[in-house]
A and B are shown apart, each in its own frame.
Chain A
Amino acid sequence: MFNLSELENDALVEVFNIGVGQAASSMSGIVNETVRMSVPSISFMNRADAGRMLAGGPDLAQERICGVSQNYDGAFRTEAILMFPEDKSLEIVRLMVGEAVPLKELTEMEQEAMCEIGNIILNSCVGTLANIFQRELQGSLPRYHLGTSDEILTATGSQDDTVLMLHIDFVVERQQIHGYVAFILGMSALHDLKDQINQYIARAMGQA
C-alpha cells in the first residue's frame, strides 16, 4: 500500500489542516457560531478497506452514510468525497440550518445545504493543496449521495483504487462530530502527490 515518510505525512496533514481551518472560518460566517475543524490524521488504503472502515464494523456495513462528492481534474485527477454517518449528517444540517429534521425527511433544500457544506470543505482542502503545489485544477459542482459506504465509494465508477482518507473533527456549538474526506486516486496521481510534497518541503527549506 502506498505510504509517505513521516515528514511527508506531517506536511500533508498540515496542508489539510490549513484547508479545513479556512473552511471552518467560512462556515462560522454562515452560522454565526464558532466552528472548529481539524484533521488529526490521514491514511492510505484500498477502496474495499475504506468501505469497511467507514461502515465501522461488519454489522454496520449496511448503515447509510451521507456523502457529498466533487471531481477534480487538470494537474491531477481525483474524486473527493466528504462523508458523515447518516445520523451525524443530520446533526450537521441541524446545526447549520438550525432545525430538527429526521434524515428520511431531509428535503431537497436540506440536501442542498449539505452539498454546500461539502463544496466549502472540499474546495478548501483541494484549493490549499493546489496552491501549495502551485498547480492548476478545475472542479465540479457537488453531488449528494445517500447509501452504504461501498455504494458511495463506487458511485462514480472510477477505476482508481487507492483512497487517501482524512479523519475530520468538526466542532460546532460544543458538539463534536467525526467525519471523513476520501480522495480516490490512481497510481500516477499518488506519485505526483509524493513528488509535490517533497518539492514543497524543499522549496520551504530554501533547497529548491
Chain B
Amino acid sequence: MSARELIADVLLFGGVALILATSLGMVVMRNAYERLHFVGPTAIAAIAIALAVLVQEGPSLIAIKAGLVAAFLALTSPVLVHFTARAAREWERGDWRPGGGR
C-alpha cells in the first residue's frame, strides 16, 4: 500500500467514523432541536470523503464531482439546519420569534 492510498484510507474512514458518531448522536438525543446539531458535522464528513477521492485519484473528473458534492453539502447544510429549526419552532408555537406565539 502506497503512502497515497494510506492517506486516502485515513481520510475516508475518518469521514465514515464521523458519520457513525453523528448517527449515534441522532438516536441518543431527546428532541428534534438536539438532533439538528448532529446534521451539521455530516458536511465535514463529506469534505473528508471528497478529499479522500481527490488523494486516491489525483486531479480527475471524479475528483471534481466529489468536490462539487462536498461543496454543495457544505454550503446548503447550514441553510437547511436553520430553516428546519425555524419550521419546527413555527410548528410547535405558531411563531418562530422568541416570545411569539402561544
Do A and B originate from a single complex?
no
